[in-house]
Structure 1
Amino acid sequence: MASSRASSRKEHLVETALRLFNEHGYHATGIDTILKEAGVAKMTLYNHFKSKDDLVVAVLKRREEWFAEQYRQKTLGWEKKPAGRLQVWLEIYEEWFRSADFNGCMFQMGAAEYSDPKGPVFRAIRAHKERTMKQFATLGAEMGLKDPISFGRQLMVILEGAIQGAKLFGPEPAIETMREMVRHLLPYRA
């Protein structure tokens, strides 16, 4: 029972930190603010995380899990062709851009605030982006594209730019441009 309660407190801390980091940024959100919002003692935080960086990494992992879960839910029980799976990814981004809590990419924000390539936060961000790019390259290979690695990189750049566009100019122009740019990638099949 105690481990269940501890796990619940840890989850609550991560969810609270995720919300606050998304709203205010990592450096602008202090540990005391997180603790106050979560309603837990500092000792509870340090029982689960060695440092704020460890909490940030846990938040980023949670965010990555959220995207994976969105994809899993949208593809559950069907075998779409690779192009259909690409459309699912675009729909996930579109829905995210239109959501009330959209405030840009927490990974992009983290890369700007934690720029030391040897630091744990930057390494976690880079690993996430590399996994995402590899996933897109695999999708490109399944679609029979001539250069799936280049496709993965280009799709990644398009989506990263669309995120910034949605944050700066609103979702609809970003979505329209993202879809148009992805259409330009697809004719290059083997």
Structure 2
Amino acid sequence: MSRSVKKETLLEVAERLFYEYGFRGVGLKQIINEADVATMTLYNHFSSKDNLVEEVLRQREERYWSYLIPRVGNGSDRRSSCLKAHGRWLKEQSYQGTCF
């Protein structure tokens, strides 16, 4: 697995676990085990759990806005289309509600 693939794997596993169990309910050992990487691999990419959480949230926010912006029109129904798009995002991406 290349360095960037390992980082992406860590981020995907961490996001899934944080979403399912909360930020405090997941330890780095669990992330390392489920991502099937060495401890040093995690620390080569993220200096701390806080740094990993920050990156997970940053990427999730980027995905959210990339999803939402194209679905919001420019007309008078902009607020309505924004709410509908947000609802679809929650249904498709956040079946338990927001990550927070």
- TM category (shorter chain) comes to 0.7 to 0.9
Partner of 2:38: 41
Letter in 2 for 1:55: L
Q: Which runs of 5+ in 2 are unaligned?
A: none
Deviations for 1:61-95, whole angstroms, at most 9, x for unmatched residues? Answer: 011011111024435xxx622x3332332122211
Letter in 2 for 1:25: G
Deviations for 1:99-120, whole angstroms, at most 9, x for unmatched residues? Answer: 37422222xx3xxxxxxxxxxx
Q: Give the alignment of 1:15-34 within 5 angstroms.
A: 15-34=12-31
Structure 1 stretches of 4+ moved >3 Å: none
Length-normalised TM-score, structure 1 = 0.47
Deviations for 1:17-64, whole angstroms, at most 9, x for unmatched residues? Answer: 001100110111111111111111110100000000000000100110
Partner of 2:57: 60
- From 75, 78, 81, give the equivalent of 1:88: 81
Structure with the bigger percentage of helix: 1
In structure 2, C-alpha distance between the alignment counterparts of 1:17 and 1:88, rounded to whole Å:
31
Length-normalised TM-score, structure 2 = 0.85
Does the Cα contact within 8 Å between 1:71 and 1:92 map onto a contact in 2?
yes
In structure 1, C-alpha distance between the alignment counterparts of 2:16 and 2:87, rounded to whole Å:
20
Partner of 1:149: none
Letter in 2 for 1:59: V
In structure 2, C-alpha distance between the alignment counterparts of 1:88 and 1:37, rounded to whole Å:
38
In structure 2, C-alpha distance between the alignment counterparts of 1:64 and 1:95, rounded to whole Å:
15
Instruction: Please give the secondary structure, in 1, of the residue aligned with 2:26.
Output: coil
User: Structure 1 residues 97 and 32, CA, compared in 2 at 3 Å: closer, same or farther?
Assistant: same
Does the Cα contact within 8 Å between 1:71 and 1:88 map onto a contact in 2?
no
Establish whether residue 9 from structure 1 lines up as the match of residue 16 from structure 2: no
Q: Work out which structure has the larger RCO, using CA pairs closer than 8 Å and 6 or more positions apart in sequence.
A: 2
Q: Which runs of 5+ in 1 are unaligned?
A: 110-190
Partner of 1:163: none
Instruction: Please give the secondary structure, in 2, of the residue aligned with 1:103.
Output: coil
Partner of 1:51: 48
Does the Cα contact within 8 Å between 1:96 and 1:102 map onto a contact in 2?
no
Establish whether residue 97 from structure 1 lines up as the match of residue 90 from structure 2: yes
User: Structure 1 residues 53 and 60, CA, compared in 2 at 3 Å: closer, same or farther?
Assistant: same
Larger Rg computed on CA atoms = 1
